[in-house]
Structure 1
């Protein structure tokens, strides 16, 4: 068993760290399970308003921990359990989290790294970051739900290039293709990621949660009309009243 996923608090921002530095933070089975536990806990915490996901030691995540693969990949039941319970368990916990999530992407962002970054709302990358899912070199495809997630976020054309050509793309290319919000000098990435998270943490927390719930429902194929019965239940909420009152009084809101 190698690596861990942990978090620490910096004010209202949680820093979630993928830590397996000897393998560029490749995800072990234990790390996928810990990722699920961490985000399930963050979802329930009222003191957290934003999250930064980063890798340790100058890399985001180089993919899965291939050293473990011979233990379970060569029979369908074990392979299904790994992808549907371990991997999708971690990814789905991130997707279900109503907190704004910033990806702090440095160095390698491959395979599992692209999947984890695809669960984040804002993606900040360094000039030296590299993106891909070259698993065709390992003889297997991307699992269906993971492929759906990646294709939705990187775009179908880029997903095809990553999976069929085993292409590795640089950060400026991923910025042009819409996967990244910004690309910065490598040394500036940690501070920029935290700055964006802190900014979001100062905004209305209930509004952020409601926006994420709406966007998640729409991404899942739900028609906007289905959301209308409860869409305006926030009308009398204190946060809503404070935001409007602060604007009219020309003062910063106190959320």
Structure 2
């Protein structure tokens, strides 16, 4: 099973669930495409006033589904297609959504999970949540658009720790750094996040949409063309192949 992104509406509040529980909701290609489809749909709906994004089974998202990686990561064109179309397609649909988007973060929030959370307006977490992007252990960098997103929302210093040191940070630390708006005991986070999202549905919907559009303009920053041109040339590198192979074989990589 390659997982799914599920949409359920309860009155004016939409719940978007990342569902791949046997892999802690790691994002497959199917899920990235599903994320885009769900948020493209939400953007057109007049009956929804807010969105709550969560993961199934006590975790938000453990990253990407690495079991798929050998099928496309080691060739530059297919690697570029994955990041620029599948991944960025899903993330950009979230960023373009004019509805208030809340994140209910529990358990693992790694890599792709941090990126998805970075697309949300209000991020709410349980005390047991853990955050990071330890892809240096897998032998590859974060794609440029994704790195820009995480650095903007989590802060450049935090992005450096996650990407250069493979640091994993707890919820209290991420709140202190400004990434999270609130942290609650794990048993309370679902109820509290739901209540805050419901509150948003009771506010003026036109004002929410206009505020989202204004904030999006304030954070718009184009990336250097040369960076985008060279971003995926590492596809066939020995380190990239070794990192992914070692993870799948459950051994320590030899870089």
TM-score category by the smaller chain? 0.7 to 0.9
Counterpart of 1:183 in structure 2 is: 183
In 1, distance between residues paired with 2:167 and 2:136? 10
Gaps of 5+ in 2: 223-255
Counterpart of 2:62 in structure 1 is: 62
**Matching of residue 205 in structure 1 with residue 202 in structure 2:** no
Counterpart of 2:192 in structure 1 is: 192
SS at match of 2:187: helix
**Matching of residue 30 in structure 1 with residue 36 in structure 2:** no
Counterpart of 1:241 in structure 2 is: none
SS at match of 2:73: coil
Instruction: Please report how far the alpha carbon of residue 221 of structure 1 lies from its aligned counterpart in structure 2 after TM superposition.
Output: 4.6
Counterpart of 2:172 in structure 1 is: 172
In 2, distance between residues paired with 1:129 and 1:32? 22
Q: How does 1:12-161 map to 2 (within 5 A)?
A: 12-161=12-161
Q: Which has the larger radius of gyration?
A: 1
TM-score normalised by L of structure 2? 0.86
In 1, distance between residues paired with 2:45 and 2:192? 24
TM-score normalised by L of structure 1? 0.86
Instruction: Please report how far the alpha carbon of residue 210 of structure 1 lies from its aligned counterpart in structure 2 after TM superposition.
Output: 0.2
Q: How does 1:209-220 map to 2 (within 5 A)?
A: 209-220=209-220
Instruction: Please report how far the alpha carbon of residue 116 of structure 1 lies from its aligned counterpart in structure 2 after TM superposition.
Output: 0.1
In 1, distance between residues paired with 2:84 and 2:125? 28
SS at match of 1:187: coil
Q: Which structure has the higher relative contact order (CA within 8 Å, separation 6+)?
A: 2
Instruction: Please report how far the alpha carbon of residue 58 of structure 1 lies from its aligned counterpart in structure 2 after TM superposition.
Output: 0.1
In 1, distance between residues paired with 2:127 and 2:94? 25
In 2, distance between residues paired with 1:16 and 1:45? 14
Instruction: Please report how far the alpha carbon of residue 11 of structure 1 lies from its aligned counterpart in structure 2 after TM superposition.
Output: 1.4
SS at match of 1:6: strand
Deviations 1:174-200 (A, max 9, x none): 000000000000011111111111101
Counterpart of 2:163 in structure 1 is: 163
In 1, distance between residues paired with 2:39 and 2:193? 18
In 1, distance between residues paired with 2:165 and 2:218? 31
- Kindly report the root-mean-square deviation, in angstroms, between the aligned alpha carbons of the 2 structures: 0.9
In 1, distance between residues paired with 2:74 and 2:102? 35
SS at match of 1:186: coil
Gaps of 5+ in 1: 223-255
Moved over 2 A (4+): none
In 1, distance between residues paired with 2:32 and 2:158? 25
SS at match of 1:179: coil
In 1, distance between residues paired with 2:199 and 2:39? 20
